[in-house]
Amino acid sequence: MELSKNFIAAEAEVKWYQHWLEKGYFNSTPDEREPYTIVIPPPNVTGVLHMGHCLNNTIQDILIRRARMQGKNACWVPGTDHASIATEAKVVHMLRERGIAKSSLTREEFLAYAWEWKEKYGGIILQQLKKLGCSLDWSRTSFTMDEDYYKSVIKVFIDLHEKGLIYRGKRMVNWDPASQTALSDEEVIFKDVDSKLYYVTYKFVDAANTPLGDGGKGITVATTRPETILGDVAICVHPTDERYSHLIGKKVIVPIINRKIPIIADEYVTPEFGTGALKITPAHDKNDNMLGIKHGLKAIDTLDVTGRFTAAELMDDNPSELVLSYVGVDRFELRKKIADDIAALGQIEKIEDYKGQIGTSERTGAVIESKLSLQWFIDMQQFLQKNSETLQAVLDDSIAFHPAKAKNTYKHWLENIKDWCISRQLWWGQQIPAWYDAEGNCVVAATKEEAFEKFISQRSILDTQTTHFPPVTIDDIRQDEDVLDTWFSSWLWPMEVFKGISNPGNKDAEYYYPTTTLVTGQDIIFFWVARMIMAGYEYKNLPPFKDVYFTGMVRDKQGRKMSKQLGNSPDLLGLIDQYGADAVRFGIMVSSPAGNDLMFDESALEQGRNFNNKLWNALKLIKMWEGRQGSMVNGEWSMGASESTDTSIPYSPFTTQKDADIDHSPFTIHKFAIDWFANKLDEVKINLEHQFKDFRLSEALKTVYSLIWDDFCSWYLEWVKPGFEQPIETAVYKKTVSFFEELMQLLHPFMPFITEEIYQLLNDQSIDLCVSQYAKEKLPNKALLQQGELLKQVISALRDARNKNQLKPKESITLYIETAVPAAFLSIENILAKQINAASIQFTNAAVANTIVVAIEKDKFYIESEKQLDTTTLKNDLLKDLEHQQNFLQSVMKKLGNERFVQNAKPEVIELEEKKKTDTEARIQTIEESLATLN
C-alpha cells in the first residue's frame, strides 16, 4: 500500500467522523458502567463557532473521549440556548431589513418569524462542532425552547412562586432603552468613560417661597447627569459637614422646573466628592432611590422607556413651555439642552472633565438607565437560606473548581447577592405564566383555564370581606406580556436535558445526574454556574456536577479581546480547512493552561500541523519496514514475517535484576531499546493520569507530544532503525507497531482524526481506536529509565564533541570507554555505536593518546579519529566545566560545613548533599585527568 506524502486532514476528518457516527460510538444509554457525563454549555441557537467555543468544546471532547477509552459510559449532550435578547435582536434586525417594524406585528406573527429564523440558522453551530471532531451524542440534542423544556421552565416558575421565592414588584432595574427591557445586574457591563461634571447652583427660597434676590446665595452640587435635574426631590449633605450643617432643613429651588425641595442630611454622602452636596433623583439612580425610600421622598420619573424626556409625572409642577419643549428629546441631547438652559440662568458654576463609569447593556451596548419598573424577581437571600449547600459545596470542594481561585469570586458574589430580575420585555422566550383580570389583579398559573379557576376561588374568599369585586370572565383574563430571562431556563440545563424536571425520576435523569464535569468560561460563573448549582439543590437536592473547569478568554497575540469591531477573531472554519482539525485542536490546547487567558497565535497551529507531519512520517518509516521483516538464525537473516525462533538473550545487566516487570522475550540487540521505551510509556501513563486528574490538559498534551516526538521518534526509532535496506526482526517490528498503537491511543483524545487514521493503517484492527480501551498502567523500572537517560546524555555529549571538532557525521570514529562499570555499557553499546557513528567501541583502563576526551559523570570517553584534532576548544570546555564543578562543590561543602544545616535538615536532604559532594569530587577528578591527557 502506498502512503501519501503527507497526511490529508480533510479526507480523514470526513471519513472517520462519518464512520464513528455510523457505528453509534457517541451514543449513550444507561447501563451498568460508571457514567461520565458532560452537558455542553449551550451556545446561542443563532451563533457561529468562534475561538472561545473551539477551546471550550475541544476540552470537553478530550475529557469525554478519554473517559470513553477508560471504560466509562461517556455521554456528552449537545444543544442550544434560545438566548432571548440576542436572538430577538437578530430577528428584529432581519425584519427591519425586510422593511417590517416589530411594532407592526402581533406577538404571534413575530414569533412565527422568530421560529422561521431559528429553523433556518439554528443549529449551524452544532454542525460546526462536528468539523472540530466533537463526539457528542447527537440523539440527545436539546433546545431551551423545546416543548418539554418550555413546560419545565413554566413549572419551575409556578413552583417557586408558590414557595414564595418569586415576587413581583416595582423596583429599580437596569433598563436597556435600546431593546426596551429590564436586565439583570449580571447583564450590565461597566465601562470607563470621559464625561463632564456639572456644578449646578440651586437657589434658596425664603419663607414666602420666593427665590431670594441677587444677594441670596445658593447651594452648588456636582452632577454628571443634569438631564435628570427635573426629577430632583432633595439635596443631601453629610450631617457632620461643617460647610452645610447650618443649611439642613432649608429649601432650595430646582432650576427650570422651579420645584421647591429640602436640604437633607445622610451619612451616605461623601463630603470629598464634588462639592459635598448631592442632588437626589430617586427615579433615575439606584443610590438616590435608596435614599429616597429612607427619607420618604417621592420618585419623579422624567424619562420614558426609550430614554426620551417625558413630562407625564411633572403635571403637579405646572411645567413651563420650556419644560414641555423637552418632551421627546433623547437623554443625551437633553443633557446638553438642560445644561445650556441652566447656564443661561447663570446657575452653572463650572464644568469639569471627569472620568467615570457607566453601565452598558451586555447585548446591545446601550447605556443603561436605572429605572423604576414593575418586574418579577427571585428573592435570592431566601433562596440561598433554603439551599445553603450552594455555597458550602463549593467551599468544601464537593463541587471542585479548577482553578480553585474561582472559589473566591463565587463566594464573594453569593455573599453579596441581590435579587434576580427575571422578567424581560421581550417576546422570544418563555412567556411568564402570570395572569391579570380587568382590574389588574394577578394570579400565577400554567394555563388560562387554571388562572380563571384561581381568580374564581380568590374572589370567593375576598368577597366575604369586600363586596365590590366584579365577576371575572375568562375573556377578561390577560397573560403577562413579558418573557423570562434566558438564564431562568438555562439554569435547569443539566437536569432538563435528561427530562429531570418534566419527567422526574426517569431512568436517564437518575443515571446521568449529577453530571461529571462542566467546562465553561469564567465570565458566566454568576449567570450560569452559580444558578445551576442553586437549581440543582432546590430540585434534586444534589449538585449538578462534580468538577467545573473554567477556561480563560481567548485573546489575540497582543492580548486584546477577540471582537468583531477589531476584526481580530480568526475564521475558525478557515483555519480548520488550512491546518486540519487536529492541528487546530493541538494549537489551542498547547497554549491553554486552565483558567488563564489564552493568547491565540497561529504559530501554535503550525506546530500542530508539523506534529501531524511528524506522526505521518513515523508511520511511513514503520510501514517501510513491514515488508522487510526477518529473523536472525545462526548469524543469517531468514526473511519473512514469521516469529523469531531465537530464544537466546544477549547479555544485559538487567537480566540479572530481580524485576518481574522486565519483558524477557527474545529481542536480540534491540532488547534495551524496547525495554526502555516500554518503561517510558508506563512512566508517562502515570504522569498523564495525574495531569488529567488535576485538569492540567495543556501539560498532558505536551507530555504526550514530547513522548512521541522526542522519546519515540528521536530516540527509540533511531535505536531500532535497521541500516539502509536492511531487514528488521519481526519481533522488534511488532513491538514497534504496538508501541505506536499505544501512542496513538494516548494522543487520540487530543487529536482524534490522525490518530484513528494511523492506527488503522498500522494494522488490521479489530476495534476502532475511538472506542479502544486503555490498558492499566504499571509502575516503571526506574533503574532502566535512568540507564536510558545516561545513554541519551552520553550520546549528546559525544555528538557535541564531534561537532566542536568538526567531525562530519559520516566520518566514523573509534570510541574508548574508561569506566569502573563496563557492564553498564554492554547493553547499550550497539545503540551508542550507531548513534555516534563509531566503527568500534572498546573498553580501556588508561588514557588513550591523541584522542578527544569527554568526561561524563564518573566516566571518560576517548574519541579516536583519523582526522587531525584541534584540542583547544576541548580544553576550554573542560576548563569551563571544571570551574563550574569547583564552584558547585564549594557551595555544597559550605552547606555541609554548616552545623545548623546538619542539625536541622532532614536526613534525606543531608544524604543528598553528601552524594552531591562525592559525585562532584569524582567528576572533578575525571576532568582533571582528562586535562592531563591533553597536555
694 lies in the site for RNA, by CB under 7 A: yes
305 lies in the site for RNA, by CB under 7 A: no
Q: Tell me how far, at minimum, the Cβ of 329 lies from RNA, in Å.
A: 28
Q: How many residues bind RNA (CB under 7 A)?
A: 73
C-alpha 784 chain-centroid distance: 39
- The 8-class DSSP code of residue 44 comes to B
Given candidates 895, 921, 933, 934, which one binds RNA under the rule CB under 7 A?
895
Closer to RNA by Cβ: residue 190 or 651: 190
Give the pairing of strands 547-551 and 554-555.
Answer: unpaired
Rounded Cα distance, 257 and 320, in Å:
7
879 lies in the site for RNA, by CB under 7 A: no
Rounded Cα distance, 362 and 84, in Å:
13
904 lies in the site for RNA, by CB under 7 A: yes
Closer to RNA by Cβ: residue 214 or 899: 899
Whether the Cβ atoms of residue 488 and residue 479 lie closer than 8 Å to each other: no
425 lies in the site for RNA, by CB under 7 A: no
Given candidates 506, 891, 918, 925, which one binds RNA under the rule CB under 7 A?
891
912 lies in the site for RNA, by CB under 7 A: yes
Q: Could you tell me which stretch among 338-346, 437-445, 649-657, 882-890 binds RNA (CB under 7 A)?
A: 882-890
857 lies in the site for RNA, by CB under 7 A: no
Given candidates 610, 657, 773, 873, which one binds RNA under the rule CB under 7 A?
610
3-state SS of 813-829? EEEEEECCCCHHHHCCH
- Interaction pattern, residues 715-744, with RNA; x per rule: CB under 7 A: --xx--x--xx-------------------
Beta bridge partners of 220: 201
User: Which of the residues 793 through 852 are near RNA (CB under 7 A)?
Assistant: 795-796, 799-800, 803, 808-809
Nearest-5° Cα angle at 840, 834 to 842: 120
405 lies in the site for RNA, by CB under 7 A: yes
CA proximity to 807, closest of 870, 877, 875, 714: 870
Q: Could you tell me which stretch among 115-123, 647-655, 704-712, 763-771 binds RNA (CB under 7 A)?
A: 704-712
Q: Tell me how far, at minimum, the Cβ of 627 lies from RNA, in Å.
A: 13
709 lies in the site for RNA, by CB under 7 A: yes
Q: Could you tell me which stretch among 37-45, 164-172, 210-218, 619-627 binds RNA (CB under 7 A)?
A: 619-627
876 lies in the site for RNA, by CB under 7 A: no
Closer to RNA by Cβ: residue 437 or 711: 711
Given candidates 163, 260, 412, 867, which one binds RNA under the rule CB under 7 A?
412
Given candidates 123, 593, 666, 822, which one binds RNA under the rule CB under 7 A?
593
User: Which of the residues 518 through 547 are near RNA (CB under 7 A)?
Assistant: 522-523, 526
917 lies in the site for RNA, by CB under 7 A: no
Collapsing DSSP states into helix, strand and coil, what is residue 592? coil
- State the number of CA atoms in the 13 A half-sphere of 926 facing the CB: 23
Element (H, E) at 550: strand 547-551
Tell me how many helices (H) and strands (E) the chain has: 31, 32
Q: Tell me how far, at minimum, the Cβ of 775 lies from RNA, in Å.
A: 24
Q: Tell me how far, at minimum, the Cβ of 782 lies from RNA, in Å.
A: 12
Collapsing DSSP states into helix, strand and coil, what is residue 81? strand
Whether the Cβ atoms of residue 548 and residue 400 lie closer than 8 Å to each other: yes
Q: Tell me how far, at minimum, the Cβ of 564 lies from RNA, in Å.
A: 18
779 lies in the site for RNA, by CB under 7 A: no
Q: Tell me how far, at minimum, the Cβ of 620 lies from RNA, in Å.
A: 4
Sheet hosting strand 852-856, strand order edge to edge: 838-843, 813-818, 859-864, 852-856
User: Which of the residues 159 through 188 are near RNA (CB under 7 A)?
Assistant: 185-186, 188
693 lies in the site for RNA, by CB under 7 A: no
Q: Which residues of 123-155 are buried (b: 16+ CB within 10 A; e: fewer)?
A: bebbebbbbbbbbbbbebbbbbbbeebbebbbb
- The 8-class DSSP code of residue 776 comes to P
User: Which of the residues 1 through 30 are near RNA (CB under 7 A)?
Assistant: 6
Closer to RNA by Cβ: residue 713 or 931: 713
Q: Could you tell me which stretch among 454-462, 570-578, 590-598, 663-671 binds RNA (CB under 7 A)?
A: 590-598
907 lies in the site for RNA, by CB under 7 A: no
Q: Could you tell me which stretch among 105-113, 602-610, 649-657, 735-743 binds RNA (CB under 7 A)?
A: 602-610
685 lies in the site for RNA, by CB under 7 A: no
867 lies in the site for RNA, by CB under 7 A: no
Region of residue 422 (phi > 0: left; psi between -120 and 50: alpha; otherwise: beta): alpha
Whether the Cβ atoms of residue 3 and residue 620 lie closer than 8 Å to each other: yes
User: Which of the residues 357 through 386 are near RNA (CB under 7 A)?
Assistant: 357
Closer to RNA by Cβ: residue 312 or 909: 909
Give the pairing of strands 188-204 and 251-253.
Answer: antiparallel
Q: Tell me how far, at minimum, the Cβ of 144 lies from RNA, in Å.
A: 22
C-alpha 560 chain-centroid distance: 17
Rg, Å, the chain Cα set: 38
Q: Tell me how far, at minimum, the Cβ of 722 lies from RNA, in Å.
A: 9
Q: Which residues of 240-274 are buried (b: 16+ CB within 10 A; e: fewer)?
A: ebeebeebeeebbbbbbbebebbbbbbeebeeeeb
Closer to RNA by Cβ: residue 724 or 935: 724
Q: Tell me how far, at minimum, the Cβ of 664 lies from RNA, in Å.
A: 28
Closer to RNA by Cβ: residue 546 or 799: 799
CA proximity to 933, closest of 816, 850, 845, 844: 850
C-alpha cell recorded at residue 765:
484492527
Q: Could you tell me which stretch among 21-29, 121-129, 134-142, 709-717 binds RNA (CB under 7 A)?
A: 709-717
865 burial (CB, 10 Å; 0-12 / 13-18 / 19+) is middle
Rounded Cα distance, 776 and 848, in Å:
49
Closer to RNA by Cβ: residue 100 or 905: 905
Given candidates 120, 260, 867, 884, which one binds RNA under the rule CB under 7 A?
884
567 lies in the site for RNA, by CB under 7 A: no
Across 84-187, the runs of DSSP E, i.e. the strands, are 142-143, 166-176, 181-183
22 burial (CB, 10 Å; 0-12 / 13-18 / 19+) is exposed
Closer to RNA by Cβ: residue 321 or 724: 724
755 lies in the site for RNA, by CB under 7 A: no
603 lies in the site for RNA, by CB under 7 A: yes
Given candidates 199, 916, 931, 934, which one binds RNA under the rule CB under 7 A?
916
607 lies in the site for RNA, by CB under 7 A: yes
Given candidates 341, 675, 682, 699, which one binds RNA under the rule CB under 7 A?
699
User: Which of the residues 621 through 640 are near RNA (CB under 7 A)?
Assistant: 621, 624
354 lies in the site for RNA, by CB under 7 A: no
Rounded Cα distance, 13 and 177, in Å:
47
Q: Tell me how far, at minimum, the Cβ of 220 lies from RNA, in Å.
A: 23
240 lies in the site for RNA, by CB under 7 A: no
Provide the angle, in degrees to the nearest 10, between the axes of the packed helices 602-626 and 752-762: 10
Q: Which amino acid is at 883?
A: E
